[in-house]
Structure 1
Amino acid sequence: MQKFSLNPDFVLQDETSLRELFPATHDLAVQKCQSTLDKHARDFIGRSPFLCLGTQGLDGKADVSPRGDPAGFVKILDQETLAIPDRPGNNRLDSLSNILANPSVGLLFMIPGFDDTLRVNGTADLVVDPELLKAMSINDRAPKVAIVVKVTSVFMHCAKAFRRSHLWDPSRFQDRSEMPSLINIIMDQTTGAPDDATDMKALDDKLEEDYKRTLY
């Protein structure tokens, strides 16, 4: 694939140039931003089994991490504070390390079948309070860390992106088998995937067993 080069003549350099391209923000888009978790935000979070967590390190590198559990897994501690359990993963600890370096976080809550989403911004701490962690246990296994977020802004986000993408429309679902499996892709990118289909299936089966063993 040929390398792409940006033409600097068409790169925006300041916010004034950006805003000249768009109409003024609608009053409601400004007014809808809240500083606390009202009853609608709390209800949305209580129904959500999935969120995306955005973080950024001191070096400016950004990261977005998916977080999922049964609906209501994010605990609302008060109108300005929520807690996210950190479940077992690959131990890269990208999000957690970023939070230690830069506590600013952005959250995007989703509910299957809902085209609108909830956006929450705030500052995060990594907490190991045994009582809090115990309250987040699943199958008698508590998380090692809770991400406690002090909310600074919260607002509902419109459905346009989900409507355009048809994300929840079963007729638009793609066949996962049209791409290699996760472990196949990772091995292609690293040590090289085995050519033998039987060997590859054994690796796929091993990953599935690992999911069952380490999910919580």
Structure 2
Amino acid sequence: MIRPEFVIEDEQSLRGLFQPTHTLATLKLQRALDRHAQAFIRRSPFLCIGTQDMNGNADVSPRGDPVGFVQILDQHTLAIPDRPGNNRLDSLSNIIANPRVGLLFIVPGYDDTLRVNGTARLVTDPALLETMRVNDRTPRLAIVVSVDEVFLHCAKAFRRSHLWDPAHFQDRSEMPSLSKIILDQTNGAPSDDDEMRKIDDDLEVEYSKTLY
């Protein structure tokens, strides 16, 4: 149990724990996508998008595609294709309720990341969607983001975590498969190993059919 006297509830108390913000950390915030931000985005095959519903309930969703999948429409606008998923539509529903979004772009091997904050719309313009076709599959919609803030984030988190260091990679087999975990959490996973293996194999087949 966390004792109330150790809970920080106002910004003055928060900032009292830290040194003042470095001048460069303040100045680095941009209002448009300059050439460096654009170059970073064109190299990125992966991002996370943070959204909230009208009640402030938060969600973060990963998005991945071939390198450069996010289109730069101009210095103030990005377009993200929406690929097939589990159809929960958490991020998309949140955008309708509250269009404010935060994006975190990641490039494999890079320790720094790019953060973009802005306002999103869900767009079904056929001309735009056609430019996002992959393997003859066109997305049903795109998330178009009007950019408000752009800045590069330093490498400390990635270096502390050794995220790209193979020596720190973990063996996925040390945990159950995704299918088994979800079944354990819901209807119950089969005890028979062969039956469980077939379920895992079926998921891989489903991946191959529905990625786009």
1: CA distance between counterparts of 2:138 and 2:80? Answer: 12
Q: Deviations over 1:60-97 (max 9, x none)?
A: 10000000000000000000000000000000000000
AA aligned to 1:210 is: E
Q: Give the structure 2 partner of residue 214 of structure 1.
A: 210
Q: CA deviation at 1:11?
A: 0.4
Matches within 5 A, 1:50-69: 50-69=46-65
The CA distance in 2 between the partners of 1:86 and 1:8, in whole Å, is 43
Q: Which residue of the partner structure matches residue 167 of structure 2?
A: 171
Q: What is the CA deviation profile of residues 178-214 of structure 1, one whole-angstrom value per residue up to 9, with x for unaligned ones?
A: 0000000000000000000000000000000000000
Query: Could you state the TM-score of these two structures normalised by the residue count of structure 1?
Result: 0.98
- For 1:12 and 1:21, the matched residues in 2 are separated by 10
Partner of 2:30: 34
SS at match of 1:180: coil
Matches within 5 A, 1:61-80: 61-80=57-76
The amino acid of 1:14's aligned partner reads: D
* Match in the other structure for 1:182: 178
Query: Could you list the per-position Cα deviations for residues 114-138 of structure 1 after superposition, in whole angstroms to 9, with x for gaps in the alignment?
Result: 0000000000000000000110010
Unpaired runs of 5+ residues, structure 1, are: none
Tell me the equivalent position of 1:138. Answer: 134
Instruction: Determine whether 1:126 maps to 2:155.
Output: no
Deviation at 1:59, TM superposition (A): 1.3
2:99 paired residue among 75, 98, 103: 103
Pick aligned residue for 2:17 from 14, 21, 24: 21
1:140: Cα distance to partner?
Answer: 1.2
**Counterpart AA for 1:164:** R
Choose from 43, 47, 53 the match for 1:47.
Answer: 43
Quick check: 1:201 aligned with 2:197?
yes
Give the aligned residue type for 1:38.
D
The superposition leaves residues 13-58 of structure 1 with CA deviations (integer Å, 9 ceiling, x where unpaired) of: 1001000000000000000000000000000000000000000001
TM-score of the superposed pair, with normalisation by structure 2: 0.99
TM-superposed deviation, 1:6: 2.0
Return the alpha-carbon distance in structure 1 between the equivalents of residues 164 and 124 of structure 2: 36
What is the identity, as a one-letter code, of the residue corresponding to 2:183? M
List structure 1 segments (4+ residues) > 2 angstroms apart after TM superposition.
none
Tell me which of 147, 152, 157 is aligned to 1:156.
Answer: 152
C-alpha distance in structure 2 between counterparts of 1:94 and 1:7, whole Å: 34
Over the matched positions of the two proteins, sequence identity in percent amounts to 69
> Unaligned 5+ residue runs, structure 2?
none
